[in-house]
Structure 1
Amino acid sequence: KKTPGGDLVANGTSLSALLTLPNTHVLHQDIAKYLGMAAGETKKLPRDFPSSTTLVFQLGTNNWQRQGEFAPGSGILHEAHHDCFNDSIEGAKCFSVYPSRKQKQAQLSAHESDRIRIFPLEHDIPICESISPVSTYRWHSMSDAEFDAYRARLAAFCSAFIDEIEAAHGRPITHAIAHHSFLNPVILCDVNKARRAAGKPQIPFSVFVHGTALKMFHNELAGDNTTEFPMRFTPFVRTAVDGASALAKAVNVFIISEAERQKLLAVYEGLATPVVLSPNGVNQKIFKPTAVSLEAVLACLTTKPYEGSDLAPMPLPTAGFSHMVVFVGKFADWKRLDCLLRAAQLYEKSIAEDGGKVATLVVGSGPPEAQKLYMDLAVELQLQNTYFVGPKPQPDLAAMYSAASVGVFPSYEEPMGMVFIECMACGTPVIGADSGGPKDFVSPAVGTLVLETPALGDDKDRFVSDLAKTIVTSLKEDWKSTKGGNALALALEKFSTLTQVKAMAKSWGW
């Protein structure tokens, strides 16, 4: 029923109120226009009522990869979701906010600037861990005043952009997504609190959980490194919104692997919000098999010495290699690059004894001290054909994956493993550790997982030996030929960004 005041009432409830509830994404003004209703008139809304443009707002924790700045996995996934909503979901428009000190709003294209806002920082992006390829500025290093100021400024920034979007389109945001389970869900609750005070409808939102925030909370809960991880943010997220967690206010919470479910629930005890498995997808327009030779890939690369080194970048040799192993990741201890380097000492020798020659590419970065640590270790181990090439953009990664014999990512309890999926999407088998997210999808058909250690740093010699033997087996048995096709098929079937985004939208009732 349309009231004299212009509102619509359904079963005695104002649709203005209904629009604050989850899964409600049709505007009462559109309903009235569609039905041609007059004041006081009552009509039944048809089930096939055509929905109008769906407006999605995303808030990211990490930068996107552009303007010469390397991005971690969550930033890459945020951008992929943004592009997929805009390019592949009919009737949807997606708008995004992400932080950066280096990137500038003025350098975005006109098309991008309509739908993207870069939250400007005077410091590096705050990080949950001790190490990141893009920052050494930790949340734990912030004072309470600095943290509160950051929260308030980000909430105001998001509110202002949302007001612009809604004014331009004449309707509220349909749904919002907070990437990471730390501050961003709290920010969306802050935005909704301001909207309530202004008489605006609430924005239903979901939370997309990435692994690093959970690692921070569990480091606090473990209590064995209170210098770096004092008990501070776990109590905060549990009570940040009117004595409850922001996740309790969400429509649903997406996790990237089943291994993350119990970790999440250990932090957010008693969480009643639905927790939905949403395996990461990759952009299959970029990550696909490419007809590129090993020699051609190597010819395009140079070494990247650590910051402060006396060494100059050098072109990579291209001749004589029969195999190539690729590692992609940030230089954090749990990524276990040290184990791969120690394994390389063994598999370089084993392959050479059979007349072969294997190149190992280390793609990624970290703080200067981590760069130096691992590069010095490679020198100490006298590795002959292991090359540190720094972080690379996605098209370059796709070429390296395509030319590689195998991708090796030996992380301890990897939350999901985007690099696994990217590598598989390029038709290359994968090797990892039998823990975390990769357990959900790495089978003998696409590669293998090496027996895990009891804890990070334990039983390292055995793990290195097993890793080296597995890599040697993959090269000698030519897994690229026997397993690469299966890896590609699995990635195409289950791990596209479009499949992931469609499933997310379906969970909201779209």
Structure 2
Amino acid sequence: MSTGKLYLVLARLQKRYLEVNHVRVLLVNHFPLEGSGSGIYTKNLAMQLVKKGHEVCVIAPDHQEVQMKGCEVRTIIFSDGKNCCYEVDFNFPCFTTHPKSYLTFYELSEFQINRYVDVFEKAMKEAVEEFVPDIIHCQHLWIAPYCASKLGVPYVVTAHGTDIKGFCRDERYHPYALEGAKNAAAVITISKQVDADVEKYYGVESGRRRLILNGFDEEIFRPRDLNRSDVLKSLNLNTDYEYVVSFVGKLTDFKGVDVLIRAAKIYSQEIQNVITLIVGNGEKYDELVKLRDDLDVKNVYFLGHRDQDVVSEIYSIADVSVVPSRNEPFGLVAIEALACGTPVVATNQGGLVDFIDETIGSLVPVEDDIALGEAIEAEILSPSKSERRQRAARKAMEYFSWDRVVDDVVRLYTDVL
């Protein structure tokens, strides 16, 4: 960056710090704005920042240009094998999977890693020179913070947990992740488990860590009075079921969908007229369908990836939503289900223990399909179902509204500046 440009940035930073109420934020994510927890986080944060009068520019990958009302989106175009105009001749990599890509970071060659770093460096440098942000907010302790460390603009990072899984799995990314963590002004952690892991693996001291729990989109996820039969009909399913169990998430090993299928074998034998809806996609899809068929589990349906509006409808008609993860850094899907007034049965680890209790659901041991099946059955047959639904929605709104989250994030921005 030239001396003149650096002076302009510093002058703008000083002016913004004095104004406090107006910040120009460059948001950077490794994944599209739909289809992953961090993508939804980025989109919601951008919209809420704009709503509160801040200016936002977003950098994210996808297969075509993306637009968002109220802010600029600079899309890095990756190839999906179908699009003809792209900047990178391979699909965007993931920590696990994504509805738009099954390629993982661990499969990239050294050449592809270097190419990936180069395109993010280029996109972020151009955004800094043209958008002139006061602060950069990167998602994941990964490549983006490393690129931000070279740009002379203060930056913060949100650690989402899947980045920590990637750090533990592939040492080739350690130099990037550690450099990005070392120079970050602050690291936002989304759960107590992620907070402890950021200190353990990256050495980020407590003074630079800020625990800010995730939020949900109140306009989409809210209690709704929907007819169960109508929603099932819209999904091309039999409308005669009396009870609904839902799962939403990636079909990957750590999500524990195989445990849910085994549990479904248990509760579907005890409860008549129950349907289990599995929403999401991933590399375990075929394996999970085969497991369902091998176990001869009735009324378990795989619905693939669905838009958030449809997911909200499924939560609203569900008697219980299930998060059977082997490891779950936070569990945004659990918050979204609660916001719709749906009790949640989840595993007793990771970020889920921070907010799930017996008043709005239950926690069971990891890998225990019997305990999971019994907990789901108890929730379906609960005599206080109406009260539990109301309590779930109230707790989500009180602790996890984006209005609260964005205020905490902006306070961090101003502290940094």
- Do both proteins adopt the same fold according to a TM-score greater than 0.5, normalized to the shorter chain? yes
Other structure's SS at 2:271 match: helix
Distance verdict in 2 for CA 1:279–1:50, change over 3 Å: closer
Residues 198 and 204 in structure 2, CA contact (< 8 A), matched pair in contact too: no
Residues 348 and 358 in structure 1, CA contact (< 8 A), matched pair in contact too: yes
Give CA-to-partner distance per residue, 1:129-179, whole Å, 9 cap, x none: 3x443322222222223212221221112221332223xxxxxx1111000
Distance verdict in 2 for CA 1:253–1:270, change over 3 Å: closer
Matches within 5 A, 1:105-144: 105=66, 108=67, 111=69, 115-122=72-79, 123-129=90-96, 131-144=97-110
Gap runs ≥5 in structure 2: 80-89
Question: What code does the residue aligned with 1:429 have?
Answer: P
For residue 223 of structure 2, what is the aligned residue in structure 1?
289
Q: Are 2:124 and 1:174 aligned?
A: no
For residue 65 of structure 2, what is the aligned residue in structure 1?
104
Give CA-to-partner distance per residue, 1:102-136, whole Å, 9 cap, x none: 2235xx37x56x6111111132211123x443322
Question: What code does the residue aligned with 2:242 have?
Answer: S
Question: What code does the residue aligned with 1:265 have?
Answer: E
Other structure's SS at 2:357 match: coil
Residues 20 and 414 in structure 2, CA contact (< 8 A), matched pair in contact too: no
CA offset at residue 273 of structure 1?
5.4
Task: Give the ranges of 4+ consecutive aligned residues of structure 1 lying more than 6 Å apart after TM superposition.
Answer: none
Residues 234 and 267 in structure 1, CA contact (< 8 A), matched pair in contact too: no
Matches within 5 A, 1:427-466: 427-452=341-366, 460=367, 463-466=368-371
For residue 403 of structure 1, what is the aligned residue in structure 2?
317
Other structure's SS at 1:26 match: helix
Give CA-to-partner distance per residue, 1:49-108, whole Å, 9 cap, x none: 64574211100111013xxxxx11111111111111111x23x111101001x2235xx3
CA offset at residue 328 of structure 1?
0.4
Residues 56 and 175 in structure 1, CA contact (< 8 A), matched pair in contact too: yes
Other structure's SS at 2:304 match: coil
Counterpart selection for 1:62 from 31, 35, 48? 31
Distance verdict in 2 for CA 1:51–1:341, change over 3 Å: closer
Question: What code does the residue aligned with 2:39 have?
Answer: G
CA distance in 1 between partners of 2:411 and 2:145 (Å): 21
Residues 250 and 273 in structure 1, CA contact (< 8 A), matched pair in contact too: no
For residue 216 of structure 1, what is the aligned residue in structure 2?
166
For residue 239 of structure 2, what is the aligned residue in structure 1?
318
Give CA-to-partner distance per residue, 1:362-399, whole Å, 9 cap, x none: 000013xx211111111112222111111111111111
Other structure's SS at 2:33 match: coil
For residue 394 of structure 2, what is the aligned residue in structure 1?
489
Other structure's SS at 1:491 match: helix
Residues 26 and 52 in structure 1, CA contact (< 8 A), matched pair in contact too: no
CA distance in 2 between partners of 1:389 and 1:335 (Å): 16
CA distance in 1 between partners of 2:301 and 2:111 (Å): 44
Matches within 5 A, 1:348-359: 348-352=268-272, 357-359=273-275
Matches within 5 A, 1:258-269: 258-269=192-203
Moved more, 497-506 or 475-484: 475-484
CA distance in 2 between partners of 1:270 and 1:364 (Å): 34
CA offset at residue 17 of structure 1?
10
For residue 124 of structure 2, what is the aligned residue in structure 1?
158
Counterpart selection for 2:256 from 310, 315, 336? 336
CA distance in 2 between partners of 1:270 and 1:415 (Å): 18
Counterpart selection for 2:382 from 468, 477, 480? 477
Matches within 5 A, 1:197-208: 202-208=152-158
Q: Are 2:50 and 1:86 aligned?
A: yes
For residue 364 of structure 1, what is the aligned residue in structure 2?
280
Distance verdict in 2 for CA 1:97–1:387, change over 3 Å: same
Residues 182 and 204 in structure 2, CA contact (< 8 A), matched pair in contact too: no
Residues 248 and 273 in structure 1, CA contact (< 8 A), matched pair in contact too: no
CA distance in 1 between partners of 2:253 and 2:98 (Å): 11
CA distance in 1 between partners of 2:384 and 2:285 (Å): 31
CA distance in 1 between partners of 2:237 and 2:225 (Å): 20
Other structure's SS at 2:230 match: helix
Question: What code does the residue aligned with 2:220 have?
Answer: I
Q: Are 2:208 and 1:274 aligned?
A: yes
Question: What code does the residue aligned with 1:279 have?
Answer: L
Other structure's SS at 1:58 match: strand
Moved more, 438-447 or 376-385: 376-385
CA offset at residue 481 of structure 1?
1.4
Give CA-to-partner distance per residue, 1:385-418, whole Å, 9 cap, x none: 1111111111111111111101011101210000
For residue 14 of structure 2, what is the aligned residue in structure 1?
26
CA offset at residue 482 of structure 1?
3.0
Residues 221 and 340 in structure 2, CA contact (< 8 A), matched pair in contact too: yes
CA distance in 2 between partners of 1:408 and 1:395 (Å): 19
CA distance in 1 between partners of 2:9 and 2:226 (Å): 55
Distance verdict in 2 for CA 1:234–1:484, change over 3 Å: same
Residues 281 and 497 in structure 1, CA contact (< 8 A), matched pair in contact too: yes
Identity between Structure 1 and Structure 2 (%): 26
CA distance in 1 between partners of 2:404 and 2:28 (Å): 21
Distance verdict in 2 for CA 1:338–1:391, change over 3 Å: same
Residues 406 and 480 in structure 1, CA contact (< 8 A), matched pair in contact too: no
Q: Are 2:146 and 1:186 aligned?
A: yes
What value does the CA root-mean-square deviation take over the aligned residues? 2.3
* TM-score normalised according to structure 2 size: 0.90
Distance verdict in 2 for CA 1:118–1:270, change over 3 Å: closer
